[in-house]
Chain A
Amino acid sequence: MKLSKNFTNPLAANNPVIVQILGICSALAVTVKLEPALVMGLSVTFVCAFSNLIMSLLRNGIPSRIRIIVQLVVIATLVIVVDQFLRAYMYDVSKQLSVYVGLIITNCIVMGRVEAFALANKPWDSFVDGVANGLGYAFILVLVAFFRELFGSGELFGITILGDWYTPNSLMLFPPMALIIIGCIIWIHRTLNKDLQEK
């Protein structure tokens, strides 16, 4: 019961992007098209899940004075692993994501979950928590990218959806539009979840 709540909570009620407002920078940068957004979301899910798992396994042996450094080393290692694999197997996507793969290290969601959850919970719970938070992030990225690619280029995954009659709205391709779309998602989310509204 607790495990399933662990999993569903970050997807909606406590989504890292639209409730905790974390990881906004990359959400603005890589959501011009669906493919990089999806790969970015999955990369963050991978890093988040395995950094949580590894930190949870190590949690009883880590000297508390250097725990932030250990966290950074683990996260940075995982990010480099992802980056190297993307360069080898998905070169085009890796080029589109450019520096943002490396910047997963600084994504507050990853370190936030390690610090707040993995250091105090069992490995399996931590792993699930990492997957769920990563997917919560990926879901918002894909949602934003869906609207931006559809109305910005008239395409989805590079396949033309809206025909010649549609003039692509290039405003959708600019980062401010990503922020506005995220704003709208937050608005809808808060309307549906009354307990999130500040008095």
Chain B
Amino acid sequence: MAINKNSNTYIIIYTVVMVVIVGALLAFLATSLKPMQDANVLNEQKVSIMKAFGEAELNFDDVVTIGRLNGGEFVAVTEAQDVADVFALLGNRKALSEATDSLPIFKFEKDGATKFVLPIVGKGLWGDIWGYVSLQQTLDNVMITGIVMDHAGETPGLGAEIATETVQKMFEGKKLYNAEGEFAIRMQKGGAQNEYQVDAITGGTKTSDGVNDMLKTSIGKYESFLRATEVAAEADTEECCSGECCAEANVELNNEEE
């Protein structure tokens, strides 16, 4: 007896079998490839952080201290599970933008200078923008030493330029706060006027605005920590304003400026 291929029973059985086979196949594939995919994502995060530090050739695991900011204090994270949690949070942009406590932060020390990398997340014109900014405290301010940014779908050639080295290089050496101590770093339409402004992207005004908001809100969460250490740096220099100690402090400062 020939099977009627257009009967409802045949169609239902056919689709059910098909879906079960395909579902099993894809589930198996996804599970078996997941460890490698996760390793790729983790590696990318580490490379981005090293790029922000400006030390792309160094190995993240050897030189960087992973930490969280608990009540304004830098607390090193060492347990494997906690480290995994930090990276999971970096990968979850929504959770990261909503986080207010226990914020991830990365510390890197070289030649007596300490740099911190913070994750930044925000919204561009078409979708999410994110990245890492490397900061270093100076005597009376906080300086950007490097930044990496990426985006989900900004306009190629316009907003998408934020992911290029040309734009990211312009942030290096810029200050976060103006003379009045207000948070001032921004991409300025019409060109940078001073040391806390960066040229905005022509034709990418909305994305530039998004970058400004991203920097303000993301770095703003760390403000108390950045300010506190900044004050500490100032106090240190005030204590020793004469004699050998002063000369030493000056040497240190020179090192920092380099």
Q: Does B5 contact A61, Cβ atoms closer than 8 Å?
A: yes
Complex Cα spacing A65 to B33, Å: 35
Stretch with Cβ within 8 A of B (4 or more), from A33-41, A81-89, A120-128, A155-163? A81-89
Given contacts A63-B6, A63-B11, contact A87 B37 (CB under 8 A): yes
Q: Does A174 contact B33, Cβ atoms closer than 8 Å?
A: no
Contact of B33 among A62, A70, A87, A170 (CB under 8 A): A87
A188 is an interface residue with CB less than 8 A from chain B = no
**Chain A positions within 8 Å of B11 at CB level:** 63, 65-66
Complex Cα spacing A88 to B19, Å: 24
A64 is an interface residue with CB less than 8 A from chain B = yes
Q: Which of A31-86 contact B (CB under 8 A)?
A: 61-66, 69-70, 73, 77, 80-81, 84-85
Q: Does A173 contact B36, Cβ atoms closer than 8 Å?
A: no
**Chain B positions within 8 Å of A64 at CB level:** 5-6
Q: How near does chain B come to A155, taking the closest CB pair, in angstroms? A: 15
Complex Cα spacing A174 to B10, Å: 50
**Chain A positions within 8 Å of B10 at CB level:** 63
CB-nearest residue of chain A relative to B13? A63
Q: How large is the interface on A (under 10, 10 to 19, 20 to 34, 35 or more residues)?
A: 20 to 34
Q: What string of 1s and 0s marks CB contacts (under 8 Å) between B18-51 and chain A? A: 1100100110011001001100110010000000
Query: Count the A-B residue pairs with Cβ separation under 8 angstroms: how many?
Result: 52
Q: Does B40 contact A88, Cβ atoms closer than 8 Å?
A: yes
Complex Cα spacing A84 to B35, Å: 12
A187 is an interface residue with CB less than 8 A from chain B = no
B157 is an interface residue with CB less than 8 A from chain A = yes
Contact of A84 among B18, B29, B41 (CB under 8 A): B29
Contact of A88 among B5, B6, B15, B36 (CB under 8 A): B36
CB-nearest residue of chain B relative to A80? B26
B126 is an interface residue with CB less than 8 A from chain A = no
Q: Does A73 contact B6, Cβ atoms closer than 8 Å?
A: no
**Chain A positions within 8 Å of B30 at CB level:** 84
Complex Cα spacing A85 to B157, Å: 29
Q: What string of 1s and 0s marks CB contacts (under 8 Å) between A140-177 and chain B? A: 00000000000000000000000000000010011100
Q: Does A173 contact B157, Cβ atoms closer than 8 Å?
A: yes
CB-nearest residue of chain B relative to A66? B11
Q: How near does chain A come to B191, taking the closest CB pair, in angstroms? A: 20
CB-nearest residue of chain B relative to A77? B22
**Chain B positions within 8 Å of A174 at CB level:** 156-157
Q: How near does chain B come to A19, taking the closest CB pair, in angstroms? A: 28
Q: How near does chain B come to A108, taking the closest CB pair, in angstroms? A: 22
Complex Cα spacing A174 to B41, Å: 28
Complex Cα spacing A13 to B26, Å: 37
**Chain A positions within 8 Å of B37 at CB level:** 84, 87-88, 91
**Chain A positions within 8 Å of B44 at CB level:** 91
Q: Does A170 contact B157, Cβ atoms closer than 8 Å?
A: yes
A-B contact pairs, 25 of them (CB 8 A): A61-B14, A62-B5, A63-B5, A63-B11, A64-B6, A65-B11, A66-B15, A73-B18, A77-B22, A77-B25, A80-B26, A81-B26, A84-B33, A84-B37, A87-B40, A88-B33, A88-B37, A88-B40, A89-B36, A91-B37, A91-B40, A170-B157, A173-B157, A174-B156, A174-B157
In order of increasing CB-CB distance, the 7 nearest A-B pairs are: A91-B40, A88-B36, A88-B33, A63-B11, A87-B37, A63-B5, A77-B22
Known interface pairs A64-B5, A84-B33; 11 further A-B residue pairs with C-beta atoms within 8 A, sorted by A's residue number:
A62-B14, A63-B5, A65-B11, A66-B14, A70-B18, A73-B22, A80-B26, A81-B29, A88-B36, A173-B157, A174-B156
Which residues from chain A sit less than 8 Å from chain B, CB to CB? 61-66, 69-70, 73, 77, 80-81, 84-85, 87-89, 91, 170, 173-175
Which residues from chain B sit less than 8 Å from chain A, CB to CB? 5-6, 10-11, 14-15, 18-19, 22, 25-26, 29-30, 33, 36-37, 40-41, 44, 156-157
